[in-house]
Chains A and B, each alone.
Chain A
């Protein structure tokens, strides 16, 4: 069994992670380093903490208790406390000691019992909407046993299951989860291997090969295309994806365009991470209308926003 799998969030009433109303379980940890990532708290596989400035009363207690001297505090009249995340060993003492709830842990271990109970709570909504459970991340395939186990529990409870993945995983891992997966949500960031490597830190060969294999296994899948300004918001990219999708064959049920949005900005700040997309405007459906048309013209069902 995978050890220390951390869950950052169990999101009920998810409407953008597969069909219908779903509950999405986000696992912590991912090997890609996409600078636009919407879930920066899901990148590192270990526990971290958010700093919520709106709750902070500048009491300075966190600086006092930090054994590493990782928090710089200049007094009540100075600025808000600053954390040096490099020095921080994530002992979480400050988090437990902050009296005002301004420090909050991200990532906790859940038992299967807890998780499935939470997932089953919305069964009625799944039945009425064609929804179910989505396991996402981070990269949930980093924890194939855990993911397969959770998906299986859901299947046994009669709940529809989705796997949301970047595709960057050993085939062995994928093989483990596919039997319990009804639908794979498969991210495609860019078809050019070099560019992919530059942007995300990994090249896309494994990813594309995995996509083909999943398709060959006749698993239903939807391709999910994050549309990122200045990176892949161009016709050529869409045309290439469509071509690839055709090669994948009938397994591809449809394509979801995910226009860039900047809602994650707050989370970056709370994690003290510099956000490469700070100030970049969100894309709206009208920005991708042309892409939508091209995909449709090629006979694929397409959504904006998943």
Chain B
């Protein structure tokens, strides 16, 4: 039973005096007063420059491209022509950080930006022409005066870009298939999308100056080694490259210190010379704040963080460089409570460094959340389209247990959750590493966030994921326990050492439903690309059940092969052309070994994974319907089915109804669930058979969906389970098709528990729970706790919840202006409902509602 004392403590911390259910009280309070726990964050929320996209377009029309980064990078690249690539990359970064414009906005206490002006997007010409033209040719984004200059840059980079380099290793026929987007994600070099986990700890603990000294010492030692008699070529030869890498690291780290100190100077100038009388904090207080910012930005990231303010700022600076300036890299990956706890403890609890109150710490976290919402992100259209309603896949992780099974959540964990409750932003999403062993207060706050309808925390099974990393990635237990999600679903190591740096190591995916369909059509796609994109597997009208399964497996193998090849090519090319020396100096392994950030040979903790999206369950439901009506009941033949599918079910409505009524995954029905298990086992077999660099146990397999289930509708033809071409596909990794789970959340969990979770790195599951139970009743927490306990007992990997009223969503469709606070869970992240396309909105509405009487 829920403890009344815990609830009372939370209410007191959040200044809520009410006897109403907590969730309802806080919801009503926010509607009345607006989000934010202090005047500062209330103000920042109101004037927040949301930078999310919808339908591939930036919602804020003021957002435009700037060529500042592209220009400075191009200048430096030319000026350093012929230089070793990694040093050239460091010089580009240095040139940019010296000369770029900087700004600090009103009321900010956390500073640092990646754009020339608020609401501008910076471009990455080194990625390739496709990504540049995507922005240059969009009149809504590109001011006309920039177009010619942009085109000139594309021309220059043609010979040096990532795409130019990658394409040379690929057969044109394969390139056509990969670019069709039918079999899976298009190659990284076409959208220049990547992801990583910055090893923040090293910078927060050491400061960059110490790391520069380390590199200098390494160079000194290496040079001494070269002079040692007798010469040893085997040992000495690799040192040349290492010296280059250390040199590049030093250049970039010094540049980052200098850039941070430019902020320090700016903050001081504003404090001392400008009128601050309209500040919501009052001119004197604002001046004090700015002088403190100046002090902080002078200190970090050069030196170790003295307390929470330093730590937060240092982390933000590193984030800006690694994921926005040196490269664009998606996400906001970190185990935030573990990372910041020593500093929080020092400042808030022990008051020994940068002392502050708990409420001030929460305000700072609210500021951080808003800052993430303002991050302008430049990524290829394909990626923007499949991430509607957000800027980017910003997901941080908290919670979990240490290697001895002790609860790792702290007062900071709670503060992070309380800040999320206060500020009501959909980004960054939070992933909670769940275990029933975690204390009730933290779990209660997780529950309260879920009840607000945020869709986060998204919940991952702590123990299961830790065990998987130990068994499949061979990470030591203390590393495996401290995982954070890289993007939506995949855990990666955090800390100082050997974290994941690139999407080519872990990320990317193939399409689910099309693998099954290609098996029906001899590898031909008649719906989107109108071309042969799969392998020839024969005329399906003559297939036996066994032959059909074999054809499906063959199509999966072929599409997966293209994906894995593409990942390794890009990885190789990144190392040659697009090194990130600042990311490298953050990582102890890279500094120790003098290797580039994208090196994967002999990497200690690799994180080799890739996904299916949208869900492979489409294959399962399709196969189940076929088995049921064609091979078991023998009411129809394969030929008849193919005819009906060719007609997109038009004129075959009765037959479609029957195929729709065949057993479906998600209803605790072994008939369907066993076929689903076959699909997952088969796919995991294929993944495990593949040996990517540094992954002797094979690539780890994840089923997730992003929100591709709506946007991919047109790319997936009519399906045997009853779906027509164009309709949304299966939504999450292991979520039943919307509306086809008829037996409620417990039956869904039972079905999902039959999948091979132990073999997989992740399985995304969406569930909808009633608002009445979750937000407006007293027993919601107890019911949810029991549900979560069972979920945990069943060993299911993941679950995330939509707690939203159908009527509210309908009302928001009618009067969007009144509902800008409505957040829904889409796939791996939470989006603002009103920013979604009508189709996406409708499909969320039609997901099974368990509104119970």
Interface flags for B661-674 (1: CB within 8 Å of A; 0: not) read 10000001000000
A-B contact number at CB 8 A: 81
Given contacts A14-B852, A285-B20, contact A129 B747 (CB under 8 A): no
The residues of B that contact A20 with a CB separation of less than 8 Å are 782-783, 786
B281 CB to nearest A CB, Å? 36
| CB<8 Å pairs between A and B, sample of 18 | A11-B744, A11-B852, A13-B745, A14-B852, A16-B852, A38-B853, A101-B657, A121-B668, A122-B747, A122-B750, A124-B790, A128-B790, A129-B783, A129-B785, A285-B776, A303-B779, A305-B772, A305-B777
A21 near B747 (CB under 8 angstroms)? no
Tell me which of B773, B776, B789 contacts A15 (CB under 8 A).
B773
A264 to B787, CA, bound (A): 26
Q: Across the interface, do B746 and A129 meet the contact criterion of CB distance under 8 Å?
A: no
Contact with B along A273-306 (1 / 0, CB 8 A): 0000000000011100100000000000001110
Write out the residue numbers on chain A whose beta carbons fall within 8 Å of the beta carbon of B657.
99-101
Q: Which residue of B lies closest to A121 (CB)?
A: B668
Q: Which residues of A contact B24 (CB under 8 A)?
A: 285
Asked if A263 contacts B850 (CB within 8 A), the reply is no
Q: A50: which B residues are within 8 A, CB to CB?
A: none
Q: Does B653 contact A (CB under 8 A)?
A: yes
Known contacts A286-B20, A303-B779; A12 and B747 CB within 8 A of each other: yes
Pairwise interchain contact B744-A12, C-beta atoms closer than 8 A = yes
B547 contacts partner chain A, Cβ-Cβ < 8 Å: no
Asked whether any CB of chain A lies closer than 8 Å to the CB of B476, the reply is no
Given A14-B852, A99-B657, A125-B790: A285 and B743 interface contact (C-beta under 8 Å): no
The CA of A15 and the CA of B772, in the complex, are separated in Å by: 11
Tell me the dominant secondary structure on chain A's binding face: loop
Chain A window 103-125, contacts with chain B (Cβ cutoff 8 Å), 1 for yes, 0 for no = 00000000000000000011011
A124 CB contact (under 8 Å) in B743, B793, B853? B793
* A interface residues, Cβ below 8 angstroms from B: 11-16, 20-21, 38-39, 57, 99-101, 121-122, 124-125, 128-131, 261, 263-264, 284-286, 289, 303-305
Q: In the docked arrangement, what's the CA distance between A24 and B324, Å?
A: 54
- B79 near A: Cβ within 8 Å? no
Q: Is B778 in the interface zone, CB < 8 Å from A?
A: yes
- Contact in complex: B744, A285 (CB < 8 Å): no
Give Cα A303 to B24, complex, Å.
16
Q: Report Cα–Cα, A14/B790, bound state, in Å.
A: 15
Contact A124 to B852, CB < 8 A, known contacts A15-B783, A100-B657, A131-B786: no
Q: Does the CB pair B786–A128 fall under 8 Å?
A: yes
- Nearest-neighbour CB distance to chain A for B666, whole angstroms, equals 12
A224 to B653, CA, bound (A): 46
**Given that A16-B852, A129-B787, A131-B786 are contacting pairs, would A304 and B746 also be in contact in the complex, using a CB cutoff of 8 Å?**
no
A210 to chain B, nearest CB (A): 24
B654 within 8 A of A: yes
Q: Who on chain B is nearest to A122 by CB?
A: B746
Contact: A39 with B773, CB < 8 Å? no
* A224: min CB distance to chain B, Å: 13
Assess whether A15 is in contact with B779, with CB atoms less than 8 Å apart.
yes
Q: Mark B758-792, 1 if CB is under 8 A from A, else 0.
A: 00000000000000110011110011011101100
Q: How far, in Å, is B286 (CB) from chain A's closest CB?
A: 41
State in angstroms the CA–CA spacing of A44 and B654 once bound together.
Answer: 31
Cα A16 to Cα B852 in complex, Å, equals: 8
Q: How far is the CA of A303 from the CA of B1 in the complex (A)?
A: 14
Q: Is the CB of A125 within 8 A of B779?
A: no
A172 CA to B787 CA, complexed, in Å: 38
Query: Does B39 sit within 8 A of A, measured CB to CB?
Result: no
Which of B653, B772, B787, B794 is the one whose CB lies under 8 Å from A100?
B653
Check B777 against A121 for contact (C-beta < 8 Å).
no
A100 to B658, CA, bound (A): 10
For A284, give the chain B residue with the smallest CB separation: B776
Given A285-B21, A305-B777: A21 and B783 within 8 A (CB)?
A: yes
User: In the assembly, what is the distance between CA of A57 and CA of B657, in Å?
Assistant: 13
Provide the residues of chain B in CB contact with A264, threshold 8 Å. 853
Residues of B within 8 A of A14 (CB): 852
Q: Which residues of A are found within 8 Å of B747, using beta-carbon distances? A: 12-13, 121-122
Residues of B within 8 A of A131 (CB): 786
- Complex CA gap A285/B21 in Å reads 9
CB distance from A275 to the nearest CB of B (A): 15
**B contact residues around A305 at 8 Å (CB):** 772, 777
- In the complex, what's the smallest C-beta–C-beta distance from A228 to chain B, in angstroms? 15
Closest to B850 in A: A13
Q: Report the minimal beta-carbon distance from B221 to chain A, rounded to whole angstroms.
A: 58
Question: Which residues of chain B are near A121, meaning CB under 8 Å?
Answer: 668, 746-747, 750
In the assembly, what is the distance between CA of A13 and CA of B851, in Å? 11
Contact across chains for B746 and A13 when beta carbons are under 8 A apart: yes
Residues of A within 8 A of B793 (CB): 124, 128
Q: Is the CB of B851 within 8 A of A12?
A: no
Within the complex, which residue of A15, A100, A289 is in contact with B852, where a contact is CB–CB below 8 Å? Answer: A15
Contact check: which of A12, A129, A261, A263 meets B743 at CB < 8 Å?
A12
| A304 close to B852 (CB less than 8 A) | no
